[in-house]
Every structure is written in C-alpha cells, then in structure tokens.
Amino acid sequence: GAGVSQSPSNKVTEKGKDVELRCDPISGHTALYWYRQSLGQGLEFLIYFQGNSAPDKSGLPSDRFSAERTGGSVSTLTIQRTQQEDSAVYLCASRRISQGAQKTEAFFGQGTRLTVV
C-alpha cells in the first residue's frame, strides 16, 4: 500500500487476555519501529527491526511484550496477559535505510488504540 497500515484501529480487551497488533510497513522499507503513546504522553520506544539483524528490544517494558517481523515485512506486536496500564495507542513506523550519512524520515501508521478493561 501507499502508507504504513496498522490493524486493528481499535481494540478493547479484558484484563488478562492476550492481544496481537499488526503493522504492514511501506514496501521496501527495511526498518520498522514500534512505539507506545499513553494519554497525553510522549512516544515511548518499544522495539526496532532492521533487515535481518537482531531486533533492538531494549524498550519493551516487560516480558509480557514481544514482537516479530516475518519475511522482513509485516510485524506483529503481542501483549500477553494484558493489564490496564497497557492501555495506550500503539504506533508503528517504517523507514527506508539510506546508504549515506543523511537519514531518511520515518513514516507512521494511524496507530492501534488498545483499551484494557
């Protein structure tokens, strides 16, 4: 597609359930990022994938969070045993990695609004 696509756009789940959030990046973008944005807060980095390299998982807040990227394209963020504090908007972004020193911008999806009740 023309942009980064995330699904679902909204998800309401019961506390303790597992959820999967999907991100479809722009074709040809090898870098993919997940961020979390809580109400009225800034962007919290979660995880970064680049090509076939090992992902940078340093932002994942607990072992209930995991993400994978299959075939270098679609990514899934999984939250197990959801808690109310997981309620937030989860944003995905992708970038084309340039060879030169000047860095290209990231393109964001519309986000998935997760509500844990």
Partner 1 sequence: GDSVTQMEGPVTLSEEAFLTINCTYTATGYPSLFWYVQYPGEGLQLLLKATKADDKGSNKGFEATYRKETTSFHLEKGSVQVSDSAVYFCALIYGNNRLAFGKGNQVVVIP
Establish if 12 lies at the interface with partner 1 (CB under 8 A): no
Q: If binding means CB under 8 A, how many residues of this protein chain bind partner 1? A: 25
Nearer to partner 1, 31 or 74 (CB): 31
Q: Give the CA-trace dihedral at 94, 99, 102, 106, to 10 degrees.
A: 0
Closer to partner 1 at the Cβ: 14 or 105? 105
Residues in region 46-85 near partner 1 by CB under 8 A: 48, 50, 56
What is the per-residue binding string for partner 1 in 93-112, x denoting contact by CB under 8 A?
Answer: x-x-x---xxxxxxxxxxx-
d(CA 100, CA 115): 41
Stretch that binds partner 1, among 13-21, 27-35, 62-70, 71-79 (CB under 8 A): 27-35
DSSP letters, 14-62, are: -TT--EEEEEEPPTT--EEEEEEE-TT--EEEEEEEETTSPPB-TT--S
Interface residue list for partner 1 (CB under 8 A) = 31, 33, 35, 41-43, 45, 48, 50, 56, 91, 93, 95, 97, 101-111
